[in-house]
Amino acid sequence: MAEVKKTATTAKKATATKAATTKTATTKTVKKEAPAKKTVAAKASGASAKLTGATYATGKRKDSIARVYLVPGKGNIIVNDVEMVKYFRRPVLQMIIAQPFNITKRETAYDAICMVMGGGLSGQAGAVKHGISKALEKAEPDLRGVLKAAGFLTRDSRVVERKHYGVRKARRSTQFSKR
């Protein structure tokens, strides 16, 4: 009796697999093509055409590095191909980035195109601010005194301390136990 049940179930499985293979063989799968993306070469050529004659500077803060290009313009700030207001949504971060332009009274004189990577949003905002300050100083050397007095040309060297051996975090140790 058990042998009859086994043969019946194996026969059902075999017919089910044959039916599945015939169904897949008869149905056609049509792949839809994705919309054409801009290639890296096309992007680079468009960016390089826009950035000819730009002033370049690198800004750093914590683990973030920002490459900043200053172009004479209307005061637009673009970060990673997105407007600054959309990339940095917190008003505090937007204020930090605008500080070099505000202190030098050049809010509408330059457009800033920034590529930033690494770290979090706060570190990235600090890196962009440092890069904009250095680029402004390169573009107009007479602004150096104003930027230096505000402390915008100095790289903030504070970074996260590494975790040490035998301790939970950089400084946090395990809870003391008497016994």
Residue 105: left (phi > 0), alpha (psi -120 to 50), or beta? left
114/7 Cα distance (integer angstroms): 70
Burial letters for 62-91: b for 16+ Cβ neighbours within 10 Å, e otherwise? bebbbbbbbbeeeeebbbeeeebeebbeee
pLDDT in tens, 110-160: 999 999 999 999 999 999 999 999 999 999 999 999 999 999 999 999 999
pLDDT class of 45 with cuts at 50, 70, 90: very low
pLDDT class of 2 with cuts at 50, 70, 90: low
93/129 Cα distance (integer angstroms): 10
What was the pLDDT predicted at 179? 85
| Greater pLDDT, 30 or 141 | 141
Packing angle of the helix pair 91-104, 121-139 (nearest 10 deg):
10
Summarize the confidence of residues 38-43 as an average pLDDT: 49
What was the pLDDT predicted at 173? 94
Q: Which residue has the tokens 């000819």?
A: 52
Domain ranges of the chain: 53-147
What was the pLDDT predicted at 51? 78
Please give the CATH architecture assigned to the domain spanning 53-147: 2-Layer Sandwich (3.30)
Please give the structure tokens belonging to residue 116.
Answer: 């930033």
How many residues appear in the chain? Answer: 179
Residue 58's CB is within 10 A of a number of other CB atoms, namely 14
In this prediction the pTM is 0.71
Lowest mean pLDDT among 16-20, 91-95, 128-132, 152-156: 16-20
pLDDT class of 44 with cuts at 50, 70, 90: very low
What was the pLDDT predicted at 41? 47
Summarize the confidence of residues 37-61 as an average pLDDT: 69
Kindly give, in sequence order, each residue whose CB lies less than 8 Å from that of residue 152, ignoring residues fewer than 6 positions away: 99, 100, 103, 129, 130, 133
Burial letters for 122-134: b for 16+ Cβ neighbours within 10 Å, e otherwise? bbbbbbbbbbbbb
